[in-house]
Amino acid sequence: MDAVINPATRHAEASADADSQRAQDKRRSLGRRITLLMLLPSTLWFLLLLVMPLVIILVFSFGERSAVGGYAGGLTLANYLNLGSRAAAFGNTLVLAPLGTLVCLLAAYPLAYFLAVKAGKNRSLLLTLVIVPFWTSFLIRTYAWIFILSGKGIPALLASVGLDDVRLINTPYAVLIGIVYGYLPLMVFPIYVSLEKLDKRLLEASADLGASAFDSFRRITLPLSAPGIITGVMLVFILLMGEFLIPAVLGGGKVFFVGNALVDLFLQSRNWPFGSALAMTLVAIMLVIIGVYLKLVARFGGKPGEGAL
Domain spans, the chain = 86-300
> What pairs with residue 64 in β-bridges?
72
pTM for the predicted model, two decimal places = 0.81
Contact 241, 258 (CB under 8 A): yes
The predicted pLDDT at position 94 comes to 92
* pLDDT digit string, tens, across residues 180-212: 999 999 999 999 999 988 888 888 888 888 888
* pLDDT digit string, tens, across residues 80-124: 999 999 999 999 999 999 999 999 999 999 999 999 988 888 888
- For residue 219, the one-letter residue type is R
Contact 299, 99 (CB under 8 A): no
- CATH topology for 86-300 is MetI-like fold (1.10.3720)
CA 275, 277, 278, 279 torsion: positive or negative? positive
Contact 278, 190 (CB under 8 A): no
